[in-house]
Amino acid sequence: MPSFSRNLEQTLHRALAVANERHHEYATLEHLLLSLTEDSDAAAVLRACSVDLDILRKNLRDYIDQELDNLVSDGREDAKPTAGFQRVIQRAVIHVQSSGREEVTGANVLVAIFAERESHAAYFLQEQDMTRYDAVNYISHGIAKRPGMSDSSKTPRGAEDDDGRDGKDKDNGESKKKEGALEAYCVNLNRKAKEGRIDPLIGREPEVLRTIQVLCRRHKNNPLLVGDPGVGKTAIAEGLARKIVKNEVPEVLADATVFALDMGTLLAGTRYRGDFEERLKQVMKEIENHKKAILFIDEIHTVIGAGATSGGAMDASNLLKPALAQGTLRCIGSTTYKEYRQYFEKDRALVRRFQKIDVNEPSVEDAIEIMKGLKPYFEDYHKVRYTNEAVKAAVELSARYIHDRKLPDKAIDVIDETGASQMLVPEAKRKKTIGIKEIETTIATMARIPPKTVSKDDAEVLEHLTQTLERVVYGQNKAIQALTSAIKLARAGLRDGEKPIGSYLFSGPTGVGKTEVARQLATALGVELIRFDMSEYMERHTVSRLIGAPPGYVGFDQGGLLTDAIDQHPHSVLLLDEIEKAHPDLYNILLQVMDHGKLTDHNGKQIDFRNVILIMTTNAGAADMQREAYGFTRTKREGEDTEAINRMFAPEFRNRLDAVVNFGHLPTEVVAKVVDKFIMQLDAQLAERNVTIELTDEARNWLVEHGYDEQMGARPMARIIQQTIKTPLADEVLFGRLKNGGNVRVVVIAAEDGSKTLGFVFPEGPVLPRPEKDIVEASKKRVRPEPEVRRAKARKAKTTDDDDDNGPEGEPDEDQPDDDAAIEGETTDETSAEDEAKPSGIVPNVPLQG
């Protein structure tokens, strides 16, 4: 049970004495309040709340002497407390007990009087513009309503903070004076800078100079830093405070102090309407009285709607507007483009009071310099040393593989997490120096990609890029050569830096590999493939979906599909498939992309396309090429596709293309490679069920003959393989002879009607499953050696191994076990039926119709 303080006991006796002096039968709240004006704790609260004690005492004495005459008694009995008097004391005790304190003071009793709203004591306090919130704010936080009265050293006894502190803020053994609301709800960035808790600001000189210039204005001296998350908006404000402390700013800001507003603390504990506004007004008043103070509001969009009631128009932003417009409050705000569009830009009256400063993502070179400046701080914290190559790799690899964040934030995260990873290792095994290998491991973990993808040498990838693409895309060497040449020029720094890496238009009939080239290029380079089907943008209004709807239209705050995708993946391959189906307005949008490497979205933000490979595919002219040629000597139409492209695309569009690459029809020898590619994919799928499949040369030739159409390309091949191989094979895998695994060979057999079709032979013998690594590599490469190479290798292997009855289809890779040669064997022309493994049966397939 809390006890009364010595001052409060004297106050209560004094209140009863005042009533006894006037022969009053009861001691009322007015007697108590008059006595509290002499109490040191209560008087301190009253003065802090701008109450004139002399006027309050005069009003109370006049009321007691004139209005309480009916309480005069004839007897000599001592005055008794009224019911209201007793309720106030009980309420003060309960309040103190619930707060965990041990002593009731006059300040607590003073707060309890406000609950007796019908009393004259509460009326006299309210008459002097004192509220219960004012008293509690001073008791709990030491924040006075009267400017200059806030002093934690004079916080009343028994009115400590919730943390149990006695109101004294000790730092390095010295008591420091608080500055009221600024100290309670703001963070002094100058003090943090003096204590060395702010990292230096590297670069950003234009943004800092622009910020200082706006702060020096007479009116509307409020800079607003707008940029993506992680580009360094908060660091600019903190860096400004650090420069002020080190006297690296103009004289006009030499004595300035930067306070960062803590919106969480400002909102915490505001139970009643008006509490939040009162706190904010206190902060603004102290900022205005502090002539050299600068208020920094991080995430300033949070003040819009803060403290507003449902249906009410008054919020924190409206409280700030008058001071912002008059120049009495200097404020630095920061927000992101998304929140700026969604919240800030809608309040035009608030926008015009700020001067917008765009904070763009730094380039890779600038980010490297920033990281070199911050490197000593991370080395000191993690007790490791970072090499300059590791810092450079952290920036370059994070820019390439981490797309959901911006530089330098993501590079800082990589450096920090790499150092933190050493904390998990026993001290004896910790590395003292962080190199490129550790950075690559962290990048692979953060980006959720295979470690070997990150560790690939860029020069090695570029050197073998042409061969890599030709290994998976057949018969289109001209297009592959044009692509790889442009990429090598860009990486060597010999290309125009203001344009995309390459802008190409792929033309040709369907099914010849136009889209596949783009897919495999993205895979080989390890970048994102961003594909848009232009058939979805045939109408004029659908084009706005790519760059965002204009102001006033539905979806304005959602951004554009193309601009947002490139913003998230600046290193990518952009594929606009079947561009001839898009509305012509789309071609105009692409003009600035191909010419300047930039695209402006609906909010005026410029998206960088300089690291993008732009590929557009078209079937324009393919229909004309299919028609019979005119004349006696011409068997094929030549140049018809070029004429169709010239008719469809304007000269200014064609002039900005690096090349128009024509994809021709696939020759027969290339189609055989396509067959091998599909069989390799099927082989990788069947390996999971312990089934191996092989294809005879006769079956391969049958698929080439029936599965390729010069007009349709290689796409019908997938349908033929599904109809003649996959569909009947599915029954065997699920219910037939391959239910528990086995070997299957695809051969050509005679159907009942005399036609030829495909069938299965099931060789006996144990199934030797291929190593998992080979299965993965096969599924990735999806390619087999050329038929001539395999047959030559088979004949060579047969001459060196007479005991092997089955001629091997091809020798395994160097890292593949020798047993795989037998698994992947196929029957050659010289091999007789008796030399083959004895089949357990031949299963004919459905003859191909037509």
CATH of the domain at 707: 1.10.8.60
Q: What is the pLDDT of residue 165?
A: 40
Question: Phi and psi (nearest 5°) for 630?
Answer: -85, 150
Closest by CA to 720, choosing from 738, 737, 700, is 700
Q: Looking at per-residue confidence, does 636 or 647 come out higher?
A: 647
| DSSP state string for 519-553 | HHHHHHHT-EEEEEEGGGG-STGGGHHHH-PPTTS
Residue 843's H or E segment, with its range, is strand 839-844
Which domain-ending residue is among 642, 662, 682? 662
Are residues 109 and 93 part of one domain? yes
Residue 258 lies in a domain: yes
Q: What is the pLDDT of residue 495?
A: 77
Residue 391 has pLDDT above 90, yes or no: yes
Instruction: Look at residue 3 and give its three-state secondary structure.
Output: strand
Q: What is the pLDDT of residue 568?
A: 82
Strands 839-844 and 756-763: antiparallel
Are residues 211 and 113 part of one domain? no
User: Which range marks the domain in which residue 730 is found?
Assistant: 668-844
High-pLDDT (> 70) share of the chain, %: 80
Residue 554 lies in a domain: yes
Are residues 673 and 611 part of one domain? no
Are residues 309 and 437 part of one domain? no
How many residues in total does the chain contain?
850
β partners of residue 174? 171
Residues 732-758 have pLDDT tens digits of 888 888 888 888 888 888 877 777 888
Q: What is the pLDDT of residue 640?
A: 54
- The span from the CA of 826 to the CA of 771, in Å, is 20
Residue 271 has pLDDT above 90, yes or no: no
Residue 217 has pLDDT above 70, yes or no: yes
What tokens appear for 345 in the block? 């830009």
Question: Phi and psi (nearest 5°) for 750?
Answer: -90, 130
| DSSP state string for 233-263 | HHHHHHHHHHHHHTT-S-GGGTT-EEEEE-H
Q: What is the pLDDT of residue 357?
A: 92
From 57-66, 212-221, 765-774, the region with the lowest mean pLDDT:
765-774
**Which whole number is the average pLDDT over 767-796?**
45
Are residues 526 and 427 part of one domain? no
Residue 154 has pLDDT above 50, yes or no: no
Q: What is the pLDDT of residue 371?
A: 92
Q: Looking at per-residue confidence, does 669 or 800 come out higher?
A: 669
Spacing of C-alpha 317 from chain mean position:
27
Q: What is the pLDDT of residue 840?
A: 42
Are residues 399 and 502 part of one domain? no
| Mean of the per-residue pLDDT values of the chain | 78
Are residues 678 and 711 part of one domain? yes
Burial class (CB in 10 A: 0-12, 13-18, 19+), 170: exposed
**Which whole number is the average pLDDT over 537-556?**
81
Q: Hey, which of 26-30, 491-495, 807-811 has the most confident mean pLDDT?
A: 26-30
From 161-170, 214-223, 246-255, 557-566, the region with the lowest mean pLDDT:
161-170
Per-residue pLDDT band for 251 (boundaries 50, 70, 90) equals: confident
Residue 418 lies in a domain: yes
One-letter amino acid at 129 equals D
Q: Looking at per-residue confidence, does 626 or 437 come out higher?
A: 437
Per-residue pLDDT band for 148 (boundaries 50, 70, 90) equals: low
Residue 728 lies in a domain: yes
High-pLDDT (> 90) share of the chain, %: 14
- The span from the CA of 421 to the CA of 429, in Å, is 12
Q: Looking at per-residue confidence, does 278 or 90 come out higher?
A: 90
User: Based on the structure, what is the number of domains in the chain?
Assistant: 5
**Which whole number is the average pLDDT over 617-637?**
57
Residue 270 has pLDDT above 80, yes or no: no
Residue 311 has pLDDT above 60, yes or no: no
Which domain-ending residue is among 168, 190, 210? 168
From 591-595, 638-642, 651-655, 669-673, the region with the lowest mean pLDDT:
638-642
Residue 385 has pLDDT above 90, yes or no: yes
Spacing of C-alpha 703 from chain mean position:
48
Closest by CA to 84, choosing from 28, 161, 160, 150, is 28
Are residues 698 and 655 part of one domain? no
Residue 174 lies in a domain: no
Are residues 553 and 532 part of one domain? yes
Closest by CA to 825, choosing from 842, 837, 840, is 837
Residue 376 has pLDDT above 80, yes or no: yes
Residues 437-449 have pLDDT tens digits of 899 889 888 877 6
Residues 684-723 have pLDDT tens digits of 888 888 888 888 888 888 888 887 776 676 778 888 888 8
Strands (E), 254-342: 257-261, 293-297, 331-335
Q: What is the pLDDT of residue 265?
A: 83
Question: Phi and psi (nearest 5°) for 181?
Answer: -65, -35
**Which whole number is the average pLDDT over 836-841?**
42
Residue 50 has pLDDT above 50, yes or no: yes
For helices 106-113 and 29-36, the axis angle rounded to 10 degrees is 140
Contact between 674 and 718 under an 8 Å Cβ cutoff? The reply is no
Instruction: Look at residue 613 and give its three-state secondary structure.
Output: strand
Are residues 396 and 266 part of one domain? no
Are residues 222 and 149 part of one domain? no
Closest by CA to 240, choosing from 313, 310, 332, is 332
**Which whole number is the average pLDDT over 592-616?**
87
Residue 451 lies in a domain: no
From 246-250, 307-311, 604-608, 754-758, the region with the lowest mean pLDDT:
307-311
Residue 532 has pLDDT above 90, yes or no: yes
Residue 464 has pLDDT above 60, yes or no: yes
Are residues 213 and 263 part of one domain? yes
- The span from the CA of 557 to the CA of 553, in Å, is 9
Which domain-ending residue is among 386, 413, 445? 445
Residue 202 lies in a domain: yes
Q: How many CA atoms lie within 13 A of 325 on its CB side?
A: 10
Alpha carbon distances (Å) from 122 to 118, 256, 775: 7, 42, 85
Q: What is the pLDDT of residue 370?
A: 92
**Which whole number is the average pLDDT over 764-768?**
62
- The span from the CA of 404 to the CA of 367, in Å, is 17
**Which whole number is the average pLDDT over 453-479?**
78
Q: Hey, which of 117-121, 302-306, 489-493 has the most confident mean pLDDT?
A: 117-121
Residue 395 has pLDDT above 60, yes or no: yes
Q: What is the pLDDT of residue 713?
A: 67
CATH number at residue 477: 3.40.50.300
Residue 155 has pLDDT above 70, yes or no: no
- The span from the CA of 767 to the CA of 770, in Å, is 9
CATH number at residue 61: 1.10.1780.10
Per-residue pLDDT band for 845 (boundaries 50, 70, 90) equals: low
Residue 238 lies in a domain: yes
